[in-house]
Structure 1
Amino acid sequence: MIRPLLLLASVALLAGCGGSGGDDPEATTTSAAAPPASLTLTLDFVPNAVHSGLYLAQQRGLFAREGVDLRIRVPGTGSDNVKALSTGRTDLAIMDIHDVALAQQEGARLVAVGALVQRPLASLVAAPDVARPRDLEGRRVGVTGLPSDDAAVDQIVRGDGGDPRRVRRVTIGFESVKSVLSGRVQAATAFWNAEGVALRIRRPRTRIFRLDEFGAPRYPELLLVTTPDALRRQRPVIERFLRAAAQGTQEAATASTAQSAAVVEALSAGAGEQAVDPQTAADQLAAVRPALLDPDGEALTIDRAAMRRWAAWETRVGITRRAPDVDALVWSGAPGR
């Protein structure tokens, strides 16, 4: 599911950026003793548990130790991270992988330097009486109207042996929790780590059908993205940022139950004016923690083979007209294999 804060209206602005994600920008010597360099990171959404490793690294001074003066920005309503990258208002941005694919399709030159999570977050959240996805035939399912939502509904229902053409789709915008609780729809597309958690707090018997449990490939839902030009100019500082962010994310993912309170506290403190409910954040962290690390227990890595499987699926289900160019999209220096 694509978040509303990641619009594609300005993708053409990036078409003229030089370089390619698959080509190494000019190498520059990196030094831990380098003077602090400023770097701005724009989130994909309001602060929540999926960002906890970044805020933990910030609170513990891991970025400062790497010589990075990091500013974390929260996007406003209607913000466009593609435009923010193209105009230099941000150096890095967290973007939904489908937004990145659609931007590339329209000519944007984006480079993924890391992955915040290692699996899809898209799902269908459903009322307790929906035992399995194929039970949604003939019933109302809420979608935002974005192509990734329709692809998710098709994949999950078909993956359970149902006929997605028989699902009655209702455009609800980004009101999945409210719409399912009110009975307006019997299910809705949502992120299982956010809306799914919120629904289960209100209605513990809520059903959650995750996309990659019904035939979709595993892919990293949220990518850390920059532009080739920015990567050329700031490669050393971006590399240092990645080291600190990976350490913070790894610590958040492996925190014990007792230590999780400190992770949530770091998130709440870093979020500033963006209110974070501690109990909701703790529940979100428990849900998303396994998705923060790859099978080897590493954070922020990008599996190139998984990305190629995703690219083929992306066009097969109709999200993009052609398969995304993974070699251009993934920086060759990004962690992973």
Structure 2
Amino acid sequence: MTPLRIGLEYFTPWTNDVGYQIAIANDLYLQQGLEVRQVLVDPLAGDTLEHLVRGDVDIAVCPTNRLLKRVEAGQALRGIATINHRAMETILTTTSTGIQRPLDLQGRRVAFNPTPRGIALVRHLITSDGGDPDSMIIVDSGSREINADDIVAGFADAFFGAYWAWDALFGTTPSAQRVALPVDEIGMLAYPSYVLAVRADSLSTDRESLTKFLHASEQGFRLAASDHALAV
């Protein structure tokens, strides 16, 4: 039995990880001769890619941009599969703001974590829609995830960084009053939000095990998509 450790990207398993959980629960990995263990990484010791580089995990679930940045810096890491086949991020607002497109963010208070990436993405969206990104008023939300209730309460007019896959789970604002603008539908380049990464040398030393892992994981995600009761 070949052991494999997969580092999950969040503080706790969430919907993005359901395929692995189903594969484990239904012995799909064991059928491939793999003993797969999910690892919740310590954020104080770095993200999943940092744990991967140190050898604490064998596979890392990670945001695409973090992998690209490390590869650009010369780290020997490689992506082997996409988890989300489209971007999950949205511009979140409510019907009361009147915001319906990136152009409407001009002169409005937009909350997000103002990292270089965050600023560049929001500015790109506004510019691509013919607007002036300098007129946007940035509200620093840090690592906090804003929901529709915060917008109703006046924290900001819109929030960049919400995920369409789970925003509906948070807050009490009726769904009819929520407006979610997926970034890949409003001017952003299409990209997968999360990918699986490995150390480059494992592509030669552990290729067979990785191939088996991907096969069983795909089975798990397909089961989740076809049997919602099983996924829940």
1:169-217 per-residue CA deviation (whole Å, 9 max, x = no partner) reads 1211122325435321111112423553234754422111111112222
**What one-letter code is carried by the residue in structure 2 that aligns with 1:193?**
W
Which of residues 110, 118, 135 in structure 2 aligns to 1:141? 110
The question of 1:168 aligning with 2:140 is answered: no
Amino acid in structure 2 at the alignment position of 1:130: G
Taking the aligned partners of 2:159 and 2:124, their CA distance within structure 1 comes to: 14
Contact 2:80–2:195 under 8 Å retained in 1: yes
Change (3 A) 1:200 1:211: farther
Matched, 1:262 2:222: no
* Cα 1:62/1:195, change in 2 over 3 Å: closer
Q: Distance in 2 between matches of 1:53 and 1:197?
A: 21
CA contact (8 A) 2:34 2:213 kept: yes
2:91 maps to a residue whose letter is L
Give matches, 1:39-58, under 5 Å: 39-45=4-10, 46-58=12-24
Q: Contact conserved, 1:176 with 1:195, CA < 8 A, in 2?
A: no
Matched, 1:189 2:160: yes
CA deviations on 1:85-107 (whole Å, 9 max, x unpaired) are: 11110000011011111112222
Aligned pairs for 1:274-313 (under 5 A) are none
SS at match of 1:225: strand
CA RMSD of aligned residues (A): 1.9
Per the alignment, do residues 40 and 219 of structure 1 end up closer, same or farther by CA in structure 2, a change over 3 Å counting?
A: same
Aligned residue pairs, count: 225
Structure richer in strand, relative to its length: 2
SS in 2 for 1:170: strand
Q: Please, what TM-score do these two structures have when normalized by structure 1? A: 0.62
Correspondence for 2:187: 215
Aligned-pair distance for 1:149? Answer: 1.5
Gaps of 5+ in 2: none
Q: Distance in 2 between matches of 1:67 and 1:209?
A: 43
Q: Which runs of 5+ in 1 are unaligned?
A: 1-35, 265-337
* Secondary structure of 2:38 counterpart: strand
Alignment partner, residue 212 of structure 2: 240
One-letter code aligned to 1:71 = R
What TM-score, normalized by structure 2, do the two folds share?
0.88
Amino-acid identity (%):
24
SS at structure 1 position matched to 2:43: coil
Distance 1:60 1:181, change over 3 A: farther
Alpha carbons of 1:181 and 1:57: their partners in 2 closer, same or farther (altered >3 Å)?
farther
Report the AA paired with residue 95 of structure 1. C
Aligned twin of 1:97: 64
SS in 2 for 1:176: coil
Is 1:130 matched up with 2:95? no
